[in-house]
Amino acid sequence: MSFDFSRARELMVEQQIRPWDVLDIDVLDTLARVPREEYVPAGLRTLAYADTALPLPHGEAMLKPVLVGRALQALLPAAHESVLEIGTGSGYLTACLGRLAREVVSLERHADIAEAARTRLAMQAVSNATVLTADALAWDEGRAFDAVCVTGAVDEIPPAFLRWLNPGGRMFIVRGRAPAMEAVLLHRDVNGSRSQSLFETELPYLAGAAPVPVFAL
């Protein structure tokens, strides 16, 4: 018997996403339409809509569906806006951002993961997303975006990340140290930046963004 992905997607939205206070109509419509199973590694397709992170090569992982929903609702990219994604992973969140925004640029430091994501996005006809093989902590193309979505945690927010925001732009990011990590929405305005606490969660750190070990004598 074939697996009913459409039904699983519907249940994900109704039983996982909505109960986590993701109520924006455009976000719910995006999650109901983007086929997550097409972005899941081979052998894990039947787990595409499970309430869990799914493994990717190099120890990376797909975000849980509820985190994708909360990130999308926090940023709410508009049809005329540009988005920078830090950490492409499978390309699923990239595709979701692409349904909402005008343009998505996504950075992925692992070349094989980046290429796999490009292939998946092309197969799903996502034409407004560009995946670049780059380390976000070293990337500097002089561009700024209306929204930035960071898919890994940081101990402290790198100053360069804020420079990627246009005036009036916002960033979804998880910061801090386990078990007290905090998802925040940063807003850039004329006075600098301000943060809005969203919820507590825990994510693996971006490479190079983990706390510096402290050795006691």
Supply the DSSP string of the chain, one letter for each residue: ----HHHHHHHIIIIIIGGGT---HHHHHHHHHS-GGGGSPTT-GGGTTSSS-EE-GGG-EEPPHHHHHHHHHHH---TT-EEEEE--TTSHHHHHHHHHSSEEEEEES-HHHHHHHHHHHHHTT--SEEEEE--TTT---S--EEEEEEEEEESS--HHHHHTEEEEEEEEEEES-TTSEEEEEEEEETTEEEEEEEEEE--PBPTT-SPPP----
Alpha-carbon span 170 to 186, nearest angstrom: 5
| Per-residue confidence (pLDDT) for residue 192, from 0 to 100 | 77
The mean per-residue pLDDT over the stretch 107-115 comes to 98
Share of the chain above pLDDT 90, in %: 89
| Per-residue confidence (pLDDT) for residue 158, from 0 to 100 | 93
* Contact residues for 82 (Cβ-Cβ < 8 A; gap 6+): 101, 102, 103, 104, 105, 145, 146, 147
Q: Are 86 and 138 contacting, i.e. CB atoms less than 8 angstroms apart?
A: no
Residue 216 has pLDDT above 60, yes or no: no
The mean per-residue pLDDT over the stretch 28-33 comes to 98
| Per-residue confidence (pLDDT) for residue 214, from 0 to 100 | 64
Q: Are 139 and 167 contacting, i.e. CB atoms less than 8 angstroms apart?
A: no
pTM for this prediction: 0.94
Residue 21 identity (one-letter amino acid) = D
Alpha-carbon span 95 to 49, nearest angstrom: 16
The mean per-residue pLDDT over the stretch 121-130 comes to 98
pLDDT digits (tens, 9 = 90+) for 174-215: 999 988 899 999 999 877 789 999 999 999 999 999 998 765
| Per-residue confidence (pLDDT) for residue 1, from 0 to 100 | 60
The mean per-residue pLDDT over the stretch 51-60 comes to 96
Burial environment of residue 32 by CB neighbours within 10 A (0 to 12, 13 to 18, 19 or more)? middle
Question: Would you state the torsion angle of the CA atoms of residues 170, 172, 173, 178, taken in this order, to the nearest 10 degrees?
Answer: 140
pLDDT digits (tens, 9 = 90+) for 126-157: 999 999 999 999 998 889 999 999 999 999 99
Residue 65 has pLDDT above 60, yes or no: yes
Q: If you average pLDDT over every residue of the chain, what do you get?
A: 95
Alpha-carbon span 109 to 4, nearest angstrom: 34
Alpha-carbon span 15 to 49, nearest angstrom: 11
